Amino acid sequence: MKPTHLILGLLALLLSACSSNQEPPRIADQSSVRQTQQGAVIGFSDDHNTHAWLSLPFAKAPIDELRWQAPRPPHAWTETREAIQLGQPCTQFWGIMAGVDGKDGDIVGSEDCLTLNIWAPKAIEASKPLPVMLWIHGGGNTAGTANTYRGSHLASDQNVVYVGINYRLGLFGTFAHQSLRNTSNSAADASGNFAVLDMIAALEWVQTNIAAFGGDPENVTIFGESAGGHNVYSLLTSPLAKDLFHKAIIQSGSTQTSHMEEAEALVSDGAGFAGTSSNEVLAQLLLDDHKIYSKEQLSSFAEKQDDKSLSRYLRSKSPQQLMAHIDSVTAGMFNAPESLADGYVLPKAPLMSLLEDSTQLNSVPTLIGSNRDEMKVFMSQDKNWVENAWGFLPRMKDPEKYQRYASYFSQQWKILAVDEPAERLSQHNPEQVFAYRFDWDNSPSNWLADLPGLLGAGHAVEISFVFGDFEKGLVIPYINTEDNREERMQLSQAMMNYWGHFAHHGYPGTGSAGNQIEWKPWSDKQENLMLLDGGDNGIAMTKLKLSAGVLKQRFLDDPEISSQKERCRLYAQSFLVSFQSRDFWNNDEYLSFGSEGCSDYPPYKLVYGSI
């Protein structure tokens, strides 16, 4: 390992994807011609004895008047369409997940991006269609692309048809404004939930077309990681997604939704979406055009305009103009509204409460999990926790405190994204909810960097194991070595077997090979959590269930927490401004939390460092 490589940062090591859109030459394979509703397509032969079809449109390009509208059915074509090259990612800031070349600050991709990629085994019997596994990529719903992920190994090894989809990101995927709402022609157009609607459109395309690729439209598993897992939760609760999928896998997800009011409001006191709510964006555009001279003038200006003029003004702006004032961008990601509780695409009730009610839910077998050290990848980028020795070698400032807080924040992720949802889902679906924790952390440690300590079983590390792909797509340099290759491959095979068996049968069981430890459903009465690890620890069931109340009590009981201010900060970080959920934030409890309460520490100011 060359020391200078570490300058790229540990987040890049963990999540770096092929940053170039350059692909090796491919030759269209006549045996891969398939007929879709829009026309014939031809793909190519790929690894693991599969066929692949890339950049198939599942909707019209959402440009011009179709920007900020629900996706429309794609155009048809008459000639056989070549599907052998990756398309553009959806518009985003360049970063390590964009899948194209660029540099910090660049805006890359295209609004014409609503495409999907398919991998399928070559040998499929027409009388025995295969389960479909539809992947929803992560990236904070502001970054990422389906192009990063290669489904060839998973499709071949588990005898499934793999589909990876793009969806609109950031301001283009979630954007609600009165002028757009009042000039819309449908509840879907008015919803602001365009990213979720894109996913639903992709699922509808699968229902119509996947049989041509050997897939079974009656056996579709949706799965996703991080924001992708978040979106799986959203689809579980969207009435528009009913009967479009039959199983769900959520990797390191979130049940967070955004309120319509905060998605539109101007920001004050650190609350809300600075630079990304619709009125924040509109105000900045008007300031740039010298139509107003302060944000406070927005309301009076808007009152003098009709909705048609304002919506036309917003649609006239380029991505560069719309995104010009977004700051705090990390790896292409930024804070923005997502999964709006609009009352049509997604219910207005908190998502966590919907999981309790089977009548409000697309109730299907569900597999949920998180990684043991989720938050380390984010903490490792925070100068409050990590310093760079000699300018480039990462060192934990206080290793003991780093590990303690990483444990707290990662427990919080497990509680809010796995345990609390699993508890609710299992009330009405007791035999069809399965949970895991990914523990593999056998990355190298030496004088240059303590990767197990800094990253451990961090966020997104499990993806390569699920795809069985440590060379293409996601690349994790320095973590994957020849020394741990055998262990990695064994764990990867076991995980693919569990995921594949779940896609085929609705439960992971003993894996598709039939020789692994039986994965038992979530329960209070037995072992309820599958630990996924390599080496001496291996794969094992255990009984481990946490709750929001338990974590809050740990904050109170921990003698190592040095001050009441720090207890209040932990409470606010964990339950108000977290990625996972705000459903366990209790303002009255916060004000009286601990012996001194938190009334002296306004939560947003406390978290964002202004007090």
pLDDT of amino acid 25:
84
pLDDT at 503: 99
- Which residues make Cβ contacts (< 8 Å) with residue 400, sequence separation at least 6? none
The half-sphere exposure of 500 on its side-chain side, counting CA atoms within 13 A, is 27
Share of the chain above pLDDT 90, in %: 84
The model's pLDDT over 321-336, given as tens digits with 9 standing for 90+, comes to 999 999 889 999 999 9
pLDDT tens, position by position, 139-173? 999 999 999 999 999 999 999 999 999 999 999 99
Counting residues of the chain whose pLDDT is more than 70, the rounded percentage is 93
Pairing of strands 386-389, 247-251: unpaired
User: What pLDDT is recorded for position 472?
Assistant: 78
The pLDDT value recorded for residue 19 is 42
Given a cut of 90, is residue 339 above it in pLDDT?
Answer: yes
Give the H/E segment covering residue 153: helix 152-158
Query: How confident is residue 20, by pLDDT bands cut at 50, 70 and 90?
Result: very low
> Where residue 105 falls among pLDDT bands split at 50, 70, 90?
very high
CA distance 150 to 478: 21
Q: Output helix, strand, coil percentages for the chain, rounded to the nearest 5.
A: 35, 15, 50
Query: Which pLDDT score, from 0 to 100, does residue 388 have?
Result: 81
- Residue 427 pLDDT grade (very low, low, confident, very high; cuts 50, 70, 90): very high
- The span from the CA of 166 to the CA of 110, in Å, is 11
Whether 121 and 107 have beta carbons less than 8 Å apart is answered as no
Indicate if the pLDDT at residue 524 is higher than 90: no
Residue 390's alpha-carbon distances to 6, 7, 396, 444, 472, in angstroms, are 11, 11, 14, 21, 32
Residue 10: its pLDDT value, please? 42
Tokens of 232: 């799986």
Taking domain 33-361, whether its CATH number is 3.40.50.300 is answered by no
CA distance 573 to 590: 12
CA nearest neighbour of 230 among 196, 203, 274, 193: 196
Q: Where are the domains of the chain?
A: 33-361, 365-546, 549-607
* pLDDT over 90 at 422, yes or no: yes
The mean per-residue pLDDT over the stretch 347-370 comes to: 96
Q: What is the pLDDT of residues 41-99, one digit of tens each?
A: 999 999 999 999 999 999 999 999 999 999 999 999 999 999 999 999 999 999 989 99
pLDDT of residue 271: 59
pLDDT of residue 309: 97
Can you give the pLDDT at residue 3?
Answer: 28
Position 123 scores a pLDDT of 85
What digits encode the pLDDT tens for the residues 467-520? 999 987 666 667 888 999 999 999 999 999 999 999 999 999 999 999 999 999
| H-only helix segments in 193-277 | 194-209, 227-237, 260-264
Q: What is the token pair recorded at 524?
A: 């209070």
Count CB atoms within 10 A of the CB of residue 233: 27
Residue 138 has pLDDT above 50, yes or no: yes
Distances in Å between the alpha carbon of 137 and those of 199, 339, 430? 11, 15, 28
CA separation for the pair 1, 6 (Å, rounded): 9
What is the reported pLDDT for 11? 44
pLDDT of residue 23 exceeding 80, the answer is no
Would you put residue 36 in left (φ > 0), alpha (ψ -120 to 50) or beta?
A: beta
Residue 594 has pLDDT above 50, yes or no: yes
For 109-133, write each residue's pLDDT tens digit: 999 999 999 999 998 887 899 999 9
Q: In the predicted model, is pLDDT for residue 390 greater than 80?
A: no
